[in-house]
Structure formats: C-alpha cells, structure tokens
Structure 1
Amino acid sequence: MTNNPLELSETELKEFLDAKVYAFNNPDFIESDPISIPHQFSKKEDIEIAGFLAATIAWGNRKSIIKNANTLMELMDNSPYDFVLNHSESNLENLAPFVHRTFNGNDCMQFVKSLQHIYINHNGLEGVFTKYAEADSLQPAISKFKSTFFEIDHLQRTEKHVSDPLRKSAAKRINMYLRWMIRNDNTGVDFGIWKNLSPSQLSCPLDVHSGNVARKLGILTRKQNDAKALLELDTNLRKLDKSDPVKYDFALFGLGVFEGF
C-alpha cells in the first residue's frame, strides 16, 4: 500500500472505508443510480439483461442515464428477456429512435441481436463470463465476452460500446455490471444472482470519481484510469478485503459523488 496523504495506517484506512461502505451500501443508494433499472424486475434473465443495457449506457449525467434506460425498457415492452429472445424485425425497428450520447438505435438493435445469440448459443450472459473466468480475475473473461458478443455479423461502430481490458481499458461499466450480478451484499442493492462466480474475482468500477478519491487516499498512484490503474487499485483493495474487494466501490464513489471528498 502506498503512503496516503491523510497519513492513515492501513488499519485506519480500512476502518474509514468500511464505515463509508456501511453508509452508502444500503437501499437508499438505488433510486439515484442506474442499478434502479434492473431492480424493476424479478426474473433472473430480465434483471441481467436490463442491468447489462443500463450499465452499457451508464456514462454522463446520472438522471439522463436513468431516464434513457427507462425509455429503452419501455421500447422493449418492459420484458427485456422476452424481447431479446422473440423479437421480430418490426420489433427491432421500434428501437431505431433510441439515443444516449453516442449509443444510438443502430447500436441498440445490434445489442439485441448479439444478446439473442448469447442466450441461444452460449448459455446466457452468466454462462459466457463463467466459462472464461479466471480464479482471481474476470478481466480476461470480459475480453472473451466481447469477442463472443460480436462473433455474429455486426456493425463495426457498435464494438466501441463494449470495453476490452486486454486493450488497456479499465472497463468501468462492465465491472460495475458484474458487481451488480455477482456480489450479494445482503442489503438489497447488488443482486448476487450469478452463483457460479465469486465477489473475490471482481474488479472495482474505476471512473473519474473513484479514481480521484483512491489517489487522495494513496491506494492508487497511476494517473490514467486504465487497465494498469485498475490492477493497482484491485491489488490494494484486496489487501483490505480479499473476499469482497469491490464493496469499496460504494465508499470511493460515495466519497467522490455525494461528499465531494
């Protein structure tokens, strides 16, 4: 662990961050977060597809993310799994007007086709990540997921909407999504519905907020928010809690967004 500007010992740092996890990892967190989208559903496949699509567009203004993700669910008749599996060409055309920043209707239609391919041929989203998971990391599995997702005919432009850690990306949105699906926090925020994978394999969703707070606390020194920075942050968070390192995402994000740390 690097020296931190607050001059906290490792024990003090852990106590400080554990207290912040306790403060933010509770149901009050859901309403203003994109995780509110999959929380509208109860069926496993609806939760994982709604979550995947919400996480995919989770950049920019949070209110705008939630508003547009809700619009997308409405365009899919609020039955995302049924829509993915059984859509017709005319159903797909309903998605054409959708836009969130650079993610447009064409990308949306491609995502539905790729998701259908994943569920029909690869045992669903959980199946792909489970197949390629490594004992201590899901980053190689994210890369394999991307190649599986785009192994059907697809629009080249849509590839940029799925990150690849092996191409130096911190893959913030997919790591956030995996936290939602795998981590069972017993507070009703993260779902923990993927039982074949462990929270110990997860990586922290690294963005501007969590990165800046981590640097101020001395658990991240690298200036770019890229795959190397993620590895450094993961290594230090595992020293604090190797079984559930990404619980500290709540602390880092909460300190950055809600407390202006």
Structure 2
Amino acid sequence: MSDDLSLLKIKLNQLISKYKNVSYLETDPICFPKRYKNPLDIEIVSIISCLFAYGNVKNIKNFLDPIFNMMGASPYEFLSQQSSSFSKFLQNLKGYRFQTKEDVVVLFLTLQKILRKKTKQSPIFESYFLNSKESFEKNSSIQNFQKKIESEILITANTKELTYGLQFLIGKWNSKSPKKRISLFLRWMVRNEYPDFGLYKKIKTYQIPYPMDVHIQKLSKVLGIHNQKQVQLNDAFLLTEFFRNINAVDPLLYDFYLTRVGIIDRCKGRYEEKICNGCELKEVCLVVPRGIEPRLQG
C-alpha cells in the first residue's frame, strides 16, 4: 500500500472512531430497520427506507415515521395480511416529494402482493438480484432487480407505463445513473458488520457499487479519488474498487462514516476554516494545505 493510501486509511479509521456510536444512527435512514429484530421486518423496512432515501434526513424521517408507526410491531406481518387495518393504512398514506399519494399506495399494494406470494423465509428480495446460477453480476443484477419491481408495479397499477413518481422511486433500469438508493439497500443487506445487517449471503460486499449520494460524490472529489462532474454506475463500481485497495474484504466499510462528514460536519466540498480545521480528513483533503494527488481517474 502506498504512503498516500496508508495515510488515508489512518484518517478513515479516525473517522470511524468518531462516528461509530449508536447515537449517530438517527442521522441516517438506517435508523428505521434498526428498530426491528426479525430479519423479515428488517428487510421490508430497509427496502422502503432506501427507496425514499432522497432529500434531507429530516424530511425522510417526517415522511417515514408515521408510516412505520401505523404498521406496528411487525411491518412484515402487517403488509402480508389483508385487513381493515391495511385499508385504513392506505387511506392515511401521503405523497412524498415526486411521489403522489396514489404512487405511494401503489407501492405498498405491490409490496403486499410480493410478500403474500413469499413464504415466511428471509431474504425476500435477494433472488431478484441473482442470475440463473445464483450469483450477482456487475452489469445486470441491479437492472434485473429494477425490471422485476417495475413489472410488479405495472401489474398492480394495471397500466403499461409507470408514473413519473414511481419511475423516479425505482429508477430506470436502462439508465447509466449510479443507482444510489438500491446500492445503499444492498450495502445494508450484504455487509455483516456495524451498522449493517448481513442478511444476504450470496452477494459479496466487494461486488456492490458504492452508494454515490451527494456527500460521497463531494468527498471522493476533495479526496482526489475522482474528478467527474457527473457520475455513472461504472464510477460507483470504480469507487468500490478504489476502497478495495484500502480494505480488500470490506470496501464499503467507510460509506456510513464518510457520509457523516457531509450530514453532520456540513462539508461543503470547498475550504471553510471553521469546518475544515476540525475535520479528521483535513490532512488528506485537496481543498486544504497538505493535499494529496488524485488516485483514480476516468
């Protein structure tokens, strides 16, 4: 490992020491599945939380908190059963940003249909990512997941085309976007270390694209890892490969902690004395003195 990477690893480990505390889980959508013990509840709450994980954390929590409260102690059991409580639940749902109330209702009806077809055996969605050989493929697995969910939604809605809100929610399978929210869901499901759950056993952590939210995009630039103005799915896979140089077994280890730099420390991606001088990454950041050279291009 080069001196630059060794120093970066030291600083990343300092960042982990700072933020590896359960109190910081409340600054992340992972706080929702952390409320449950049953793997079936964890998985269904995780997919819902990740699909709506856009916008600031406060807005996400304001939208999802009432939903999970209405679903009671076991969201899996609640969604699996047709009852008057579920009908009332649908009536009380609200829209969220690009999703209308009708979009949200269709999503939950679709999830109910999927769960009622499944046996009580976790995991629920892992097979959606796997090919005929039960393996994860870089160029098709996430797209196949999107296709399958889209197909289920179209059947539920009895239509041939998704609304804008539902299309935004699951993403276009044939787009080159980094597919951040699905990658985040995979991180939660595949990693078997804090703060994640490790429910999926047939997918390896190093196979997953890095969840390229705005904070990771910003930090990967100021750390000199990439300099693209627009990131695509291949860039997310490249970022995973970069972190494999630091941690070959668990390259996504750093995702949760790096995003705290943006969410809590309010990193702007430019030098601001009050923010930067207290940052654990200041010695390896390009926007402050003693920066390092870019390590990943293209």
What TM bracket, shorter-length normalisation?
0.7 to 0.9
Query: What is the alpha-carbon distance in structure 2 between the residues aligned to residue 259 and residue 90 of structure 1?
Result: 42
Greater relative contact order, per chain length (Cα 8 Å cut-off, separation 6+): 1
Q: How much has 1:29 moved relative to structure 2?
A: 2.1
Give the % identical residues.
Answer: 28
Instruction: State the match for 2:34 in structure 1.
Output: 39
Instruction: State the match for 1:161 in structure 2.
Output: 169
Instruction: State the match for 2:199 in structure 1.
Output: 193
Query: What is the alpha-carbon distance in structure 2 between the residues aligned to residue 159 and residue 14 of structure 1?
Result: 38
CA shift digits 1:77-98 (9 cap, x unpaired): 4432123222358724632432
Instruction: State the match for 1:101 in structure 2.
Output: 97
Provide the aligned length of Structure 1 versus Structure 2: 253
Indicate the larger mover: 207-216 or 119-128: 119-128
Gap runs ≥5 in structure 2: 268-298
Query: What is the alpha-carbon distance in structure 1 between the residues aligned to residue 173 and residue 244 of structure 2?
Result: 19
Instruction: Indicate the structure (1 or 2) with the bigger Cα radius of gyration.
Output: 2
CA shift digits 1:130-169 (9 cap, x unpaired): 45775574x6222111111122314411232112464111
Query: What is the alpha-carbon distance in structure 1 between the residues aligned to residue 64 and residue 79 of structure 2?
Result: 16
- Is 2:183 the counterpart of 1:175? yes
Query: What is the alpha-carbon distance in structure 2 between the residues aligned to residue 55 and residue 94 of structure 1?
Result: 20
Indicate the larger mover: 60-69 or 222-231: 222-231
Structure 1 residues 142 and 93, CA gap change in structure 2 (3 angstroms): farther
Gap runs ≥5 in structure 1: 2-7
Structure 1 residues 226 and 89, CA gap change in structure 2 (3 angstroms): farther
Query: What is the alpha-carbon distance in structure 2 between the residues aligned to residue 15 and residue 62 of structure 1?
Result: 28
Structure 1 residues 36 and 90, CA gap change in structure 2 (3 angstroms): closer
Structure 1 residues 67 and 131, CA gap change in structure 2 (3 angstroms): farther
Instruction: State the match for 2:70 in structure 1.
Output: 75
Query: What is the alpha-carbon distance in structure 1 between the residues aligned to residue 74 and residue 9 of structure 2?
Result: 41
Q: How much has 1:110 moved relative to structure 2?
A: 2.0
Tell me the secondary structure at the aligned position of residue 140 of structure 2: helix
Query: What is the alpha-carbon distance in structure 2 between the residues aligned to residue 129 and residue 63 of structure 1?
Result: 30
Indicate the larger mover: 206-215 or 234-243: 234-243
Displaced runs of 4+ in structure 1, greater than 6 A? none
Task: Choose which of 226, 243, 250 in structure 2 pairs with 1:237.
Answer: 243
Q: How much has 1:28 moved relative to structure 2?
A: 2.4
Q: State the Cα RMSD in Å.
A: 2.7
TM-score by length of 2: 0.75
The residue correspondences of 1:202-221 to structure 2 (distance < 5 A) are 202-221=208-227
Tell me, yes or no, if the aligned pair for 2:29 and 2:61 is still in contact at 8 Å. yes
Indicate the larger mover: 152-161 or 32-41: 152-161
